[in-house]
A and B are shown apart, each in its own frame.
Chain A
Amino acid sequence: MLDPEKIFLDKVYEEIKIEPKDWMPDQYRKTLIRQISQHAHSEIVGMLPEANWITRAPTLRRKATLIAKVQDEAGHGLYLYSAAETLNITRDEMLDQLHSGKAKYSSIFNYPTLTWADMGAIGWLVDGAAIMNQVPLCRCSYGPYARAMIRICKEESFHQRQGFEILLTLSKGTEAQRKMAQDAIDRWWWPSIMMFGPNDDASPHSAQSMAWKIKRFSNDELRQKFIDMCAEQVKILRLTLPDEKLKWNEKRNHFDFGEINWKEFWNVVNGNGPCNKERLAARTKAHKDGAWVREAAAAHAEKRKSRAQKAA
Chain B
Amino acid sequence: MNKEWPLWEIFIRSKNGLDHKHAGSLHAADAQMAIENARDVYTRRMEGVSIWVVESKYIHASNPDEASSLYDPANDKPYRHPTFYELPDELKNM
Contacts and interface: CB of A to CB of B under 8 A. Distances in A.
Interface of A: 19, 21-23, 68, 71-72, 75, 78-79, 82, 85, 90-92, 147-148, 151, 155, 294-295, 297-301, 304-305
A92 B7 contact: no
A91 to B, nearest CB: 6
Dominant secondary structure of chain A at its interface with chain B = helix
Interface size on B, as a range, is: 20 to 34
A304 B29 CA distance: 11
A21 B24 contact: no
B93 interface: no
Contacts of A297: 5, 29-30, 33
22 contacts: A21-B61, A21-B63, A22-B64, A23-B65, A71-B40, A75-B41, A78-B26, A79-B24, A82-B24, A85-B25, A90-B4, A91-B4, A91-B27, A92-B4, A148-B24, A151-B24, A155-B45, A297-B30, A298-B1, A298-B5, A300-B29, A305-B30
B57 interface: no
Contact of A294 (B5, B41, B64): B5
Contacts of A304: 30
B64 A19 contact: yes
- The 4 nearest A-B residue pairs measured at CB: A297-B29, A301-B30, A301-B29, A82-B25
Given A79-B24, A297-B30, 18 more contacts: A19-B64, A21-B64, A71-B40, A75-B41, A75-B44, A90-B4, A148-B24, A294-B5, A295-B1, A297-B5, A297-B29, A297-B33, A298-B3, A298-B5, A298-B29, A301-B29, A301-B33, A304-B30
Nearest to A78: B41
Contacts of B3: 298
A299 B1 contact: yes
Contacts of A68: 44
A85 B7 contact: yes
Nearest to A7: B65
A20 to B, nearest CB: 9
A82 B64 contact: no
A293 to B, nearest CB: 10
Contacts of B2: 295
Contacts of A147: 24
Contacts of A19: 64
Nearest to B62: A21
Contacts of B61: 21
Contacts of B25: 82, 85
Contacts of A155: 44-45
A68 B3 CA distance: 30
B34 to A, nearest CB: 10
Contacts of A22: 64
B44 to A, nearest CB: 6
Contact of A72 (B1, B27, B44, B64): B44
A275 B59 CA distance: 43
Interface centre among B24, B26, B29, B63 (most CB of A within 10 A): B29
Interface string B27-67: 10110010000001100110000000000000001011100
